[in-house]
């Protein structure tokens, strides 16, 4: 039975050092949400990622995300896809030790609905692992690329 992890907004994942990568659409959305020009957003809040393939959000001096403010995500409504996808579409071994998301067993249909609600992604036609609590491939903390394409369903 698939396990859906219900995020409790503990913000632990916002405090791990790492990379949150952004695509053009996310840059546009966040800049608009902040009511600043995209160029200003890019200059003030992003840097070239380690693979030099795109932009990532800046971190605070302690490694936390630049948008973690007063114990909460200050861009929650427009947060990057990478943040929305954790821990249901990517995670790493033993992530439960630091993430307070509540595991919930549910049927595949409900799981797909909950993932769509949490991430905005549709799992239609994608394989859902019925037995594992983890993504199929161990992934580093906030290091891209983070989402491994799921296998197609066999039927
Ligand atoms: S995904 Fe997990 S670590 Fe991140 S805020 Fe939600 S409960 Fe906390």
Q: What angle do CA 45, 13, 94 make, to 5 degrees?
A: 145
User: Does residue 11 have its Cβ closer than 6 Å to ligand 1?
Assistant: yes
Q: Taking the model in full, what pTM does it have?
A: 0.82
Which protein residue's CA is at the shortest distance from atom 3 of ligand 1? Answer: 99
Any long-range contacts for 134-137 (C-beta under 8 Å, 24+ apart)?
134/91, 134/92, 134/93, 134/95, 135/89, 135/90, 135/91, 135/92
Residues 20-79 pLDDT 10s: 999 999 999 999 999 999 999 999 999 999 999 999 999 999 999 999 999 999 999 999
Name the pairing type of β-strands 21-22 and 3-6: unpaired
84 Cα to the center of ligand 1, angstroms: 10
3 Cβ closer than 6 Å to some ligand 1 atom? no
Contact 57, 18 (CB under 8 A): no
Percentage of the chain lying above the pLDDT 70 cut = 83
Atom of ligand 1 nearest to the CA of 11: 5
């Amino acid at each position: 039975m698939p396990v859906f992890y219900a995020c409790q907004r503990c913000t632990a994942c916002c405090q791990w050092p790492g990379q949150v990568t952004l695509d053009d659409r996310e840059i546009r959305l966040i800049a608009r949400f902040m009511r600043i020009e995209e160029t200003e957003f890019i200059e003030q809040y992003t840097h070239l990622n380690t693979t030099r393939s795109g932009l990532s959000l800046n971190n605070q001096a302690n490694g936390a995300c630049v948008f973690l403010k007063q114990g909460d995500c200050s861009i929650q409504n427009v947060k990057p896809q990478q943040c929305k996808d954790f821990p249901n579409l990517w995670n790493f071994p033993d992530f439960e030790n630091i993430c307070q998301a509540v595991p919930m067993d549910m049927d595949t249909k409900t799981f797909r609905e909950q993932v769509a609600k949490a991430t905005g992604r549709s799992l239609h036609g994608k394989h859902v692992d019925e037995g594992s609590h983890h993504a199929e491939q161990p992934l580093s903390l906030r290091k891209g690329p983070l989402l491994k394409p799921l296998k197609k369903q066999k039927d």
